[in-house]
Amino acid sequence: MDFHDRHDLTVRINGEDHRLPGLDPRTTLLDLLREKLALTGTKKGCNFGECGACTVHLDGRRVNSCMVLAASTDGREVTTIEGLAKEGALHPVQQAFIDHDGFQCGFCTPGQVMSAVALIDEGHAGSDTEIREWMSGNLCRCSAYPQIVDAVRAAAGAGRNGR
Ligand code: FES
Ligand code: FES
């Protein structure tokens, strides 16, 4: 693919297929979600792979969507924070963040929740130390870290990862 060529993309996002013709190949997954599909739950913090605010799942694995070219998601499956709730009920990890006050301003929260869902799936929530380590890519300017750990521990301990 020439760098300047427009690109046709088909990607499944939150269970729905999206066909996106003529995409600028420089478009990141984050900008695709926010600017083209109005899925603004995924936040743009640093836009440089440092803060985790833009965390989504790509084929079930967490990624910083600001560091992923949209073109590379062709034929793949993306889940964003908007895709977690099912049939009007919050995902158990979302509910645990509410129950344990795991946020203040909320800007980092979608990324924190997406990381938490993945790390529980990965089996990395065995202790508070492990949770802190595997959540360390998600920064919180409000420093809600103790409550975030409480929420992840609770969701993991209850076996409530919604999958
Ligand atoms: Fe992607 Fe900060 S916005 S890691
Ligand atoms: Fe404000 Fe984390 S809750 S940045």
Average pLDDT over residues 33-51: 98
Task: Report the pLDDT value the prediction gives residue 5, as an integer from 0 to 100.
Answer: 76
Instruction: Compute, in angstroms, the gap from residue 94 CA to the centroid of ligand 2.
Output: 15
**Of 31, 27, 33, the residue nearest 12 (C-alpha):** 33
Closest-lying ligand 1 atom to the alpha carbon of residue 51: 2
**Of 121, 115, 109, the residue nearest 45 (C-alpha):** 109
Q: Which residues have CB under 8 Å from 29's CB, separation 6+?
A: 56, 58, 63, 65, 66, 68, 69, 70, 72, 73, 78
**Rounded-to-integer distance, Cα 12 and Cα 77, Å:** 5
Task: Report the pLDDT value the prediction gives residue 4, as an integer from 0 to 100.
Answer: 65
Confidence of residue 6 (pLDDT cuts 50, 70, 90): confident
Task: Report the pLDDT value the prediction gives residue 80, as an integer from 0 to 100.
Answer: 98
* Residue with token string 């949770």: 131
Instruction: Compute, in angstroms, the gap from residue 55 CA to the centroid of ligand 1.
Output: 7
Task: Report the pLDDT value the prediction gives residue 145, as an integer from 0 to 100.
Answer: 97
Q: In the chain, pLDDT over 70 holds for what percent of residues?
A: 94
Asked if 78 and 68 count as a contact pair (C-beta separation under 8 A), the reply is no
Average pLDDT over residues 8-26: 95
Query: Which carries the bigger pLDDT value, residue 1 or residue 65?
Result: 65
Task: Report the pLDDT value the prediction gives residue 24, as an integer from 0 to 100.
Answer: 94
Specify the length of the chain in residues: 163
Query: How confident is the model over 87-102, as pLDDT tens digits?
Result: 989 999 999 999 999 9
